[in-house]
Structure 1
Amino acid sequence: MTITLDAPAGTTFDVLRAELTGSLFTPDEPEYDALVSPWNLAVPMRPAAVVAVETAADVAATVHFAGAHGFTAGVQATGHGAERSLAGHLLVVTRGLDECTVHPEGWARIGAGVKWATLVAAAAPHGLAGVNGSTTDVGIVGYTTGGGVGPLARTYGINADRVRAFEVVTGDGVFRRVTPELYPDLFFALRGGKGAAGIVTAIEMDLIHLRTFYGGAVYFDAVDAARVIDRWRTWADELPELGTTSLVLFQLPPLPEIPPPLAGRMTLGVRFVWTGDPAEGARLLDQLRAVAPVVLDDAAVKPYTAIDSVHADPVDPMPVVDPAILLDAFPAEAADRLLAVAGHGSGSPQVMVEVRHLGGAYAREGAHPCAFDHRAARFSVLTVGMAVDEDSAAVALAHADRLFAALADWDTGGVWPNFGVPHDAVSARRCYTEPTLARLREVVDTYDPHGVLQAGAYTRA
């Protein structure tokens, strides 16, 4: 059941509308649904009003209005990682904050509404790239405030460590520029704490020098998964930090847009990004190609603009459930248990089961402390199941619970904030250690004393 969060009787938004450069819409207006709809169509967002901001002043005006009327304010850019309870009474949609300026010497200034795809295209002519996620269809700010772990993680670490500055409106309605020297407590909280500390309007961050990479995905029939995964486990642990890898069990429908070797069957994909000499990358990947017959081989030297080909994540909005866990190891027994629950012949309902190999630069702390707490994790496990209705969602979630229970001996108890958005006491304690939660609570109490920002509610849970 979808419930719209109503404003108190007699509330009028005319005063706020008059202050905005952008626009405000209520549920009775036709523009409302398109603005509130997230990428994950299984997560309805129904605030009392949605504010499509165009300036940082719009954000400040909305937060001021919310505080004055006893409302809460939420924020959404692309709607990836949506959580219905975070919409608040007034949902700030930041798509209109679309500044994207690339400085050829190696950094960029980005508005809160910009997706990675825009930056990748703008940076490529300068031989630059960002430490983006598995798809460039997600927003840069949301990804980075959750830590930012992507297909370059072992080589370049998390994107939160590359931030130079934020511009943000905190829950007290004040616009602030945040750096390691200016508001270091906010700088800590905004890198890993998601939106608890404020609504980011712009970010400045360092880029990397990377025109091309060797990589993509090599796919095998799922009947050969046990042999391939057994070799992949040791192969991944022996990789130099120039390489980052993951594996994925896919069950893709027989649709025209899906490559025929992958359509209508279960396959195992090994993803690989190598930032060193391409010949060495090919030699390393050949060690896995030799294990079993390859049904599709996408690995090659590619321009960085082709980075999405590695994970091949879907772009079009769809209804899914996608829980995740982190592991401290992935030994042979763990691989066997994973395949028993989710491999060939298991009856798994999941469209995708992914295992990412971590370590390398990911495991090292950045120059400045941040609220990302999972450097010691060695692997991430993510499931994605369709949620076209309540029954299919329940089936996918129950199966994910079975899989995670099978891997419980290696479960760290944690999850990345981007894979398990903090919104209540339980999710917060999976995302953060108690010391980090205490620091986040102090920041929220300082800059949002009246609890205006809905994303900060988990610090008080």
Structure 2
Amino acid sequence: MSDVPAEFEELAERVQGPVFTPGSSGYDDERSGFQTAFRHRPAVIVGATGPDDVSAAVTFAAARGLPVAVQATGHGLSAAAQGEGVLISTARMTDVRIDPLNRTVRIAAGVRWEQVIKEAATHGLAPLNGSAPHVGAVAYTLGGGVGVLGRQFGYTADHVRSIDVVTADGALRQVTADSDPDLFWALRGGRDNFGIVTSLEVALVPLTRIYGGGLYFDADLVPEALATYLRWTTTVPEELTSSISLMRYPDLPPIPAPLKGRYTAHIRVAYTGDADSGKQLVEPLRAIGPRLIDSIDEMPYTASGSIYNDPAFPHAYYGNNVMLGEAGPPVAEAVLDLAGPTAKAPCIVDLRHLGGAFSRPPAVPSAIGSREGEYILRVLTPLAICDVDTARPVHERLYEAVRPWTVGRNLNFIYADEATPDQTGLVYSPEDLRRLAGIKAVHDPANLFRFNHNIVPAAAKV
């Protein structure tokens, strides 16, 4: 208590978890997350240990008109609090409860997918996680959730059964499609605009193994790999979800020897069918030519994180995405010309195949838009070797080139420094954005939760 300034002593008394202020021991560690280029620097941080701490922190902030931000792993940082407001860290909230009979899991706000994958596997089940197991499960799901099995099962948010959320009045509510259909609709796709989710219940699928992995092709085969991949995606069944990444690997010790210093195409595959049919489906990709690495094989679902092998260490990056209705030769040409190995800024290009169940409306509607998108085109630049001002125009030229095929943006793949009203307007249809603004006006009229891809309350609009 002695380290807490007088203005926050009452807050420290109300919560069980630690309270940090600038300059105090642990403040910098608590505000740091996976994204290191942009970090929160709030007036005070609450290390919440459970829903009661979240409620107390929100109540304290609301009474004083202080804006509120939330962070679990820091992957999804969008708008950083700078010198004001309350940051609620949910990293200590890590409870996972599997219901094997109903094939569901209740996930607390700080849980990472790797924990759910491991615990679900003991019951012969699997979650609809994304490519990186170290990502926070709740924020990922509320933003939609583009999973490694998404073409077969759709967005992870489509499988949410109930949500526990603390709204701007400090009340903890359990929200379902029956209890509050408007808020349930808005939370699934509107993420942290309407409150701080303390836990959610989401369905699991009966699955223990997949046929999956990656194919890496050297620079001379990159154009053919990209063209072949895009043609191939128009032929595959929904049980197969895939993507392709183009990038130059650094010549550093952690990088596998065949990839060091090379510009490569990396095709990633996850297929829930049997291995024999999987081999037949993948054959056109292997026919592209020699592979630097070929890791596609049958694997336990617990190893699904190895398909993408996303970096698990915190680092600085800048990036964004567009969703495309189609991706033919003009898109491939634009990618290689504007974001390929000769681009003025180093680019990691990621094209993810959607369609299938991603495109179908779920049984319970949500605010996730652009379901007509067949691909997500995402571009990242590592900021350890390039600055934002150099990277931004390179990315923007590519997005402008593919504008004729663009149908929207994916919320989870818009990264920090890009949380603007224009970006938010590209995520939702005008009709959905109006509905979201109306729901925001009901549950957060003062826009307490605004350190995000902000949806402005309808009453506050001019």
**TM-score interval, normalised by the smaller of the two chains:** over 0.9
Residue from 209, 233, 247 that aligns with 1:212: 209
What is the alpha-carbon distance in structure 1 between the residues aligned to residue 234 and residue 81 of structure 2? 38
The equivalent residue for 1:381 is 377
Q: Post-superposition shift, 1:343?
A: 2.8
1:174 paired with 2:179, answer no
* Other-structure match for 2:346: 350
Name the CA distance, whole Å, in 1 between partners of 2:293 and 2:446.
55
Q: Is the 8 A contact 2:81 2:451 kept in 1?
A: yes
Tell me the CA shift for residue 399 of structure 1.
Answer: 1.6
Q: Deviations over 1:287-317 (max 9, x none)?
A: 1111222111011111111111111111100
Question: Residue type matched to 2:413 in 1?
Answer: F
Is the contact between residue 188 and residue 371 of structure 1 (CA under 8 Å) also seen in structure 2? yes
Distance in 2 separating the partners of 1:137 and 1:313: 9
Q: 2:447 aligns with which of 447, 451, 454?
A: 451
Taking the aligned partners of 2:424 and 2:241, their CA distance within structure 1 comes to 28
**Residues 187-227 of structure 1 deviation map (CA, whole Å, 9 limit, x = unaligned):** 00110001011100011110011100001110111211222
Q: 1:6 aligns to what?
A: none
Match of 1:195 in 2: 192
Matching residue of 2:94: 98
- Higher mean alpha-carbon deviation, 301-310 vs 444-453, is at 444-453
AA paired with 1:267?
T
Aligned to 1:157: 154
How far residue 350 of structure 1 moved from its aligned partner, in angstroms, is 2.8
| Aligned counterpart, 1:314 | 311
Cα deviation, residue 282, structure 1: 1.2
Name the aligned partner's letter for residue 193 of structure 2: A
2:231 and 2:247 map into 1 onto residues whose CA distance is 22
Matched, 1:427 2:423: yes
For normalisation by structure 2, the TM-score amounts to: 0.94
- Identity in percent: 36
- Aligned partner of 1:436 in structure 2 is 432
**Cα distance in 2, alignment partners of residues 201 and 347 from structure 1:** 42
- TM superposition score normalised by structure 1: 0.94
Equivalent position of 1:3 in the other structure = none
Tell me if 1:12 matches 2:44: no
Instruction: Name the CA distance, whole Å, in 2 between partners of 1:351 and 1:331.
Output: 20
Opposite residue 416 of structure 1, the aligned amino acid is: N
The one-letter code of the counterpart of 1:418 is N
Give the Å deviation of 1:423. Answer: 4.1
1:13 counterpart SS class: helix
Which of 14, 21, 25 matches 2:20? 25
Which of 134, 139, 150 matches 1:137?
A: 134
The separation in 2 between residues aligned to 1:216 and 1:47, in whole angstroms, is: 41
Amino acid at match of 1:417: L
Distance 1:208 1:86, change over 3 A: farther
C-alpha RMSD over aligned residues: 1.7
Alignment of 1:248-259 (within 5 A): 248-259=245-256
Moved more, 19-28 or 219-228: 219-228
Could you tell me whether the CA contact under 8 Å between 1:324 and 1:383 is conserved in 2?
A: yes
Contact 2:166 2:197 in 1 (8 A): yes
Counting only pairs closer than 5 Å after superposition, residues 332-351 of structure 1 correspond to structure 2 as 332-344=329-341, 346-347=342-343, 349-351=345-347
Compare 220-229 and 297-306 and name the one that shifted more: 220-229
Q: Which runs of 5+ in 2 are unaligned?
A: none
- Number of aligned residue pairs: give it: 449
Q: CA deviation at 1:38?
A: 2.1
2:413 counterpart SS class: coil
Partners of 1:350 and 1:383 within 8 A in 2: no
- Structure 1 window deviating more from structure 2 (110-119 vs 351-360): it is 351-360
Give the aligned residue type for 1:25.
F
Report the residue type matching 2:51 in the other structure.
A
Cα distance in 1 between the residues matched to 2:306 and 2:99: 26
**How far apart, in 1, do the equivalents of 2:237 and 2:163 lie?**
33
Residue ranges of structure 1 left out of the alignment (5+ in a row): 1-9
Q: Is the CA contact 2:343–2:394 (under 8 Å) kept in the aligned structure 1?
A: no
Q: Tell me the distance in 2 between the aligned counterparts of 1:11 and 1:398.
A: 46
- Supply the distance in 2 between the matched residues of 1:440 and 1:230 (Cα, whole angstroms): 39
The amino acid that maps onto 1:219 is Y
Partner amino acid for 1:69? R
- Alignment equivalent of 2:410, drawn from 405, 416, 437: 416
Between the aligned partners of 1:44 and 1:155, the Cα distance in structure 2 is 36
The question of whether the paired residues in 1 share the 8 Å contact of 2:96 and 2:107 is answered with yes
- 2:237 matched residue in structure 1: 240
Offset at residue 171 of structure 1 (A): 0.9
Aligned: 1:127 with 2:121? no
Amino acid at match of 1:386: P
Contact 1:38 1:45 in 2 (8 A): no
1:270 aligns with 2:270: no
Q: State the shift of 1:404 in Å.
A: 1.7
Query: Is the 1:94–1:113 Cα contact (8 Å) retained in structure 2?
Result: yes
Structure 1 position 67 matched with structure 2 position 78: no
**Counterpart residue identity of residue 331, structure 2:** A
SS of aligned partner of 1:458: coil
- Higher mean displacement: 442-451 or 259-268: 442-451
Q: What is the letter of the counterpart of residue 387 of structure 2? A: S
Corresponding residue number in structure 2 for 1:297: 294
Q: Distance in 2 between matches of 1:303 and 1:350?
A: 34
